[in-house]
Structure 1
Amino acid sequence: MSALARPLSATTAVPRTRPLGRLAIAALHAELACSPKPGLVTPFSRGSHQDMDASTFLRSLFALRGYFSALAAQATASGDFAPLRTLGVQAERAMLAATGNVNTHRGAIFSLGLLVASAARLRAATAAKPSAEAVCHGVRQWRDALLQAPLDAASPGQRARARHAVPGVREQAAAGFPLLRGVAVPALRVALAEGLPRNAALLQTLMQLVAVTDDLNLLHRGGAEGLAFAQAQARGFLDAGGVHAGDAHAHMARICHAFEQRRLSPGGSADLLACALFLLQQEAT
């Protein structure tokens, strides 16, 4: 049994870091539960994926249930990047073992993991709940280590990154997640403040992310043409009123069908959506 197949939070995390771990898992579960979503797995659809469904994601979340708490505990004890990276590598192995080598949460292990670690560091230093923006900025403490860390050149995302010469999530993290600070967090704040149900608020935020993100998953699956198509569909949905429009459900159904026909899946945007929800929830917990 791998280290992360056991509940690490019971042995590794100190009590004050456990809520961050629970919030991280809850945010990933909320992203999965959000439906409909174009090209993405939901409890009711495989989206554009033939190798995974909601049960695959749930097995992955169960395998990762101790990772984020352990990460928060480690970040509280030390600001060194190396042990955080080691935990991330272990988490990825646990995920792949649980899913039969299907990548469900590699991006979230990286991005959400860094945000959990940053939030834990800030809480330890200030004994206060940091803002979402402060948590994002806090990730920049590992900027040099992030930019120097080895990449898996064989991964689909890295192949797309190299082929299309666009920055990836590593560059986003090193810059303090500008897409989270400038797009996802403000959009989700506004949507929730408007009183939208959480599902609708998440969908509205997701489409704002898809509209502007150079999503490596979209580039991998559809190339530059697929990315442009996805962004145009998201902009069209938002320009028509987004989730506020009277025909929003029918409009989204058409977009979902179009994404599935083209096998497009904005997985990078989905990861950022979960990160944004975590950031807002940790402000209040």
Structure 2
Amino acid sequence: MVMATSMRPALQTPALATADDWADRAVQALRDEALLTPKPALVDGRGSGAHRDLDLARMLRSAEALRLPFADMARAAAGARPSPDLRARLAAIGRVAEQRMMMATDGSNAHRGAIWALGLLVAAGSMRLDGGGPEQLAATAAAIARHPDRHAPGLDSHGARVCRRFGLGGARAEACAGFPHAVRLGLPALRRARAQGYGESHARLDALLAIMARLPDTCLLHRGGLAALRAAQHGAWAVLDAGGAATARGWQGLMRLDADLLERNASPGGSADLLAVTLFLDGIARQDGGADGEIGRARWKH
């Protein structure tokens, strides 16, 4: 059974949104991603997926713990422009956010990638240099991300090792490019499913699958190597080619994909972060009056 996900009313006009408003939007995107069920091998309403150290309660506690740091990022960016100094301020707040996340989850990494992605978008939203929609918001976030973090501690994370091994840019490259997997794949899939009359949960599942089908997800690569990545991408394509999660064939394909990734103990955590980005940007588009517009185009055929 697909669990219903919560929908918040639109915030005030974006140009007048406060730092707390931007934080609310980011936290809600994280909550909506976590609550969406069933997601292949990810934490959701059924259980922990392939994450033995996480569950839905921890994910929701982590999201709530990030509310204050997200608001601090929005305040830091208000009236600013992309610059090395702004990047450094945001990075410092981001490190505090990671500490709060770890405290909320008893030491588990629930949202490190999402802190980076949504933190940039919250800052870009607070700046709103030209009042543009999701594409411009993502472009402003990219302009911030391209500045180096002068005070980065140089941690050798799982993601960094995977990027070196496979020659990938990872989360940083995705942000520097303006989150193309969310803007050009996730958002169009979400809107296409809604236009076809599918329920919101099915539409969000299709958005996740559209991202999975193309993203070189470093979480999958870390846990299961190229075999897990290829299985996830092919499985996601199969569901979309069958008509999406709302169809009988698509649903069966989604269940097969879930079982396959669970057997491999591999989870598309990077795709989940970008689903949260997609939902955040979708909320901005809806409050801007562009809920039915299509951003970018995606092809479901190989």
After TM superposition, give the deviation of residue 149 of structure 1 in Å: 7.0
Equivalent position SS for 1:221: helix
Pick from 88, 102, 116: which aligns with 1:82? 88
- Hey, what's the Cα distance between the residues in 2 that align with 1:159 and 1:38? 24
Tell me the residue number matched to 2:6.
none
CA distance in 2, matches of 1:74, 1:21: 13
Aligned mates of 1:146, 1:133 — CA distance in 2: 22
Q: How far apart in 1 are the matches of 2:241 and 2:285? A: 30
Name structure 2 gaps, 5 residues minimum.
1-15, 288-302
User: Matches of 1:256 and 1:38 in 2, distance apart?
Assistant: 4
Q: 1:96 to 1:183 in 2, by over 3 A?
A: same
Distance 1:271 1:70, change over 3 A: same
Structure 1 unaligned runs (5+)? 1-13
Q: Give, as a single letter, the amino acid of the residue that structure 1 aligns with 2:102.
A: L
For residue 269 of structure 1, report the CA deviation from its aligned partner: 0.5
1:115 has 2:117 as partner = no
Q: Tell me how far apart the structure 1 counterparts of residues 246 and 46 of structure 2 sit (CA, whole Å).
A: 22
Instruction: Give the whole-Å Cα distance in 1 for the aligned partners of 2:20 and 2:112.
Output: 21
Name 2:296's counterpart in structure 1. none
TM-score, structure 2 normalization: 0.83
Deviation per CA, 1:105-151, whole angstroms, max 9, x where unpaired? 000000111011111111xx34x4x3111111112322442487747
Q: Is the 8 A contact 2:88 2:151 kept in 1?
A: no
Relative to structure 1, the CA distance from residue 33 to residue 278 in structure 2 (aligned partners, 3 Å threshold; closer, same or farther) is same
Equivalenced residues, count: 268
- Confirm whether residue 280 of structure 1 aligns to residue 282 of structure 2: yes
Question: More displaced, 257-266 or 192-201?
Answer: 192-201
TM-score of the pair, normalised by structure 1: 0.88
Task: Tell me the residue number matched to 1:20.
Answer: 22
3-state DSSP of counterpart to 1:259:
helix
Which residue of the partner structure matches residue 54 of structure 1?
56
CA contact under 8 A between 1:184 and 1:273: conserved in structure 2? yes
Structure 2: how far apart are the matches of 1:157 and 1:281? Answer: 28
Indicate how the Cα distance of structure 1 residues 151 and 252 shifts in structure 2: closer, same or farther if over 3 A, else same: farther
Farther off after superposition, 135-144 or 203-212: 135-144
Identity value in percent: 36
Q: Which has the higher helix share?
A: 1
Indicate the residue corresponding to 1:6 in structure 2.
Answer: none
Sort the Cα spacing of 1:149 and 1:86 in 2 relative to 1 into closer, same or farther, 3 A: closer
Match of 2:164 in 1: 162
CA distance in 2 between partners of 1:189 and 1:132 (Å): 14
User: Would you say the 8 A contact 1:153–1:159 is kept in 2?
Assistant: no
Q: Which amino acid aligns with 1:161?
A: C
Equivalent residue, structure 1, for 2:239? 237
Flag the 1:281–1:144 CA change in 2: closer, same or farther, 3 A. Answer: closer
What are the residue-to-residue correspondences of 1:157-196 with 2, within 5 Å?
157-196=159-198
- Note closer, same or farther for the CA distance 1:222–1:120 as it changes in structure 2 (3 Å cut): same
Q: Secondary structure at the match of 2:248?
A: coil
- Of 101, 106, 118, the residue aligned with 2:107 is 101
Residue 218 of structure 2, aligned match among 216, 219, 242:
216
Task: List per-residue Cα deviations over 1:209-244 (Å, max 9, x = no partner).
Answer: 111000000000011111111111111111122124
Tell me, what secondary structure is at the counterpart of 2:108? coil
Q: Bigger shift: 14-23 or 177-186?
A: 14-23
Within 1, Cα distance between the matches of 2:254 and 2:143? 39
- After alignment, is 14-23 or 25-34 more displaced? 14-23
By how many angstroms is 1:15 displaced? 6.4
Secondary structure at the counterpart of residue 67 of structure 2: coil
- CA 1:202–1:151 in structure 2 vs 1: closer, same or farther (change >3 Å)? farther
Q: Take 1:88 and 1:197, find their aligned partners in 2: how far apart are those partners?
A: 34
1:41 alignment counterpart:
43
- Structure 1 position 153, deviation (Å): 4.5
**Aligned residue type for 1:181:** V
CA distance, structure 1, for counterparts of residue 22 and residue 149 of structure 2: 26
Contact 2:87 2:149 in 1 (8 A): no
In structure 2, the partner of 1:9 is none
